[in-house]
Amino acid sequence: MNARGVFLRAGDLDAGFTAGWDRLVASRGVYADCFDTHTWAASVMHADPVAAQRARIAAVVDEHTGQPLSLLALEDLDGRGRFASFAEDRPRSRVVAEQTDLTPLAEQLAASGVRDLRLRRLPSRDPATHALLGALRRTGYRVHARERSHDLLADVTDGWAVHRARFASFHGQTRRLARKLARRGEVSFDTYTTPEEADTGFVAYAELFPRSWKGPLTDSTRTERHELVRRAADRGWLRLYVLSIDRRPAATYLWFRIGAVAVWHSTAYDEEFAALGVGNVAMWRAHEHILDHDTADPPRLVDLLPTTTAQKLRLAPERPPLLDVEAVRDRPFAATVLPVRAFARTARAAAVGRIRAPRRGRTTASTGGTTA
């Protein structure tokens, strides 16, 4: 396979590249993440022109198809070689790759003038994180990684029934709360997954925020999340849930199903109903639906994102560290060397990937954490 490195601005991204970007993320099994996708990045850029102007995508692409084989979404901090993970408030970031050797991608970074690179909250459990750190070192970067926060995960390979039994105390608590809610009024639980349902579900979701402890969504956040919900629905990833009492929305949870992962995104609930436990009831109903809905291809991992709450600590027993990475390169890079070296290494990595692919397809990836 012939490949070449590219360093793209937002305006350079065509439909073929962006579709390939999303497919690459979705193909990563238990390492898939909606915050790695073009769908998410495009939603951010739609709401924030400054973010769009600063966005840069380092990638290695197939020479013939233009499809990305590996990529890293960045933002230009100052126009003088300082870059960081795209979108500062992103819950975590990572390199997206189907290759095992990421040296061509690191070489593209160096050739593009990236001399100071700050990557925020890279998952230590993801083999691509360690492949990137090794590639950066081989390309002449001085790399320092430190633990910062941690993921909150639960293996759900055995399905809803086993998951429910694993968290029997939480299940019992939510059953008692559900009975209390039923005495308060008629309880309904609506799911929104399709493009036709996305706008209706989002209205209920957004209108709950002013009645919650979070307060109203800002205009930019509302625009970004609405765009994300629409785009995710088009991809088949949307899982939006609204629990209502007497047809009044009381709690909402926004999830995405991508690859083998069910990713929790955000929640809000009406403070008037807080004492009735609407948040816990809605969360557990969302778990049940998301684990039982896709019977032909159920998720293998629940990802509650790296923000700590008492509820999430009860439901996420696996907590591998996240890494903040600083990579600095002082000497200039011989850009003319890049194509030959990148092509050779990418071809070799692709050949290895084809040999190993059948085995990977039969193996459930571990969700355990590793250190840098």
Provide the CATH number for the domain around residue 284: 3.40.630.30
- Residue 66 Rama label (left phi>0; alpha psi -120 to 50; beta): left
Q: Are 26 and 32 in contact (CB under 8 A)?
A: yes
Q: For residue 127, count other CB atoms closer than 10 A to its CB.
A: 14
Distance set, CA 306 to CA 91, 159, 160 (Å): 7, 23, 23
Same domain for 297 and 221?
Answer: yes
Query: If you average pLDDT over every residue of the chain, what do you get?
Result: 89
User: What is the domain count for the chain?
Assistant: 2
> Hey, CA dihedral for 293, 295, 297, 303, is it positive or negative?
positive
**pLDDT, greater one: 99 or 164:** 164
What the block records as the tokens of 27 is: 């193909």
Same domain for 345 and 249?
Answer: no
Distance between terminal CA atoms of the chain?
A: 30
Q: For residue 205, count other CB atoms closer than 10 A to its CB.
A: 25
Q: What range defines the domain where residue 104 resides?
A: 3-149+323-361
Q: For residue 18, count other CB atoms closer than 10 A to its CB.
A: 17
Q: Which of 52, 65, 51 is nearest to 21 (CA)?
A: 65
Q: What's the rounded Cα separation, in Å, for the pair 126 and 35? A: 14
Same domain for 115 and 160?
Answer: no
Same domain for 304 and 327?
Answer: no
Q: pLDDT tens-digit profile of 196-222?
A: 999 999 999 999 999 999 999 999 999
DSSP 30: G
Q: pLDDT tens-digit profile of 240-287?
A: 999 999 999 999 999 999 999 999 999 999 999 988 999 999 999 999
By percentage, how much of the chain surpasses pLDDT 70?
89
Q: What's the rounded Cα separation, in Å, for the pair 342 and 70? A: 12
Whether 67 is in a domain gets the answer yes
Same domain for 172 and 292?
Answer: yes
- Residue 37 buriedness (CB in 10 A; 0-12 / 13-18 / 19+): buried
Q: pLDDT tens-digit profile of 287-334?
A: 999 999 888 899 999 999 998 788 899 999 999 999 999 999 987 655
Whether 93 is in a domain gets the answer yes
DSSP 305: -
Following CA atoms 198, 295, 304, 231 in sequence, which dihedral angle do they give, to the nearest 10 degrees? -30
Whether 11 is in a domain gets the answer yes
pLDDT of residue 334: 54
Same domain for 109 and 165?
Answer: no
Whether 367 is in a domain gets the answer no
Same domain for 161 and 83?
Answer: no
Same domain for 140 and 162?
Answer: no
Residues β-bridged to residue 243: 189, 251
Whether 368 is in a domain gets the answer no
Same domain for 164 and 140?
Answer: no
Whether 64 is in a domain gets the answer yes
Same domain for 191 and 228?
Answer: yes
Whether 366 is in a domain gets the answer no
pLDDT of residue 1: 67
Same domain for 266 and 350?
Answer: no
Whether 27 is in a domain gets the answer yes
- Residue 21 Rama label (left phi>0; alpha psi -120 to 50; beta): alpha
**pLDDT, greater one: 128 or 308:** 128
Q: What's the rounded Cα separation, in Å, for the pair 144 and 136? A: 11
Q: Are 175 and 187 in contact (CB under 8 A)?
A: no
3-state secondary structure of 363: coil
Q: What's the rounded Cα separation, in Å, for the pair 254 and 250? A: 14
CATH code at 98? 3.40.630
Q: Which of 314, 290, 300 is nearest to 174 (CA)?
A: 314
Q: Which of 73, 61, 136, 57 is nearest to 99 (CA)?
A: 61
Q: What's the rounded Cα separation, in Å, for the pair 81 and 113? A: 6
pTM: 0.87
Same domain for 127 and 162?
Answer: no
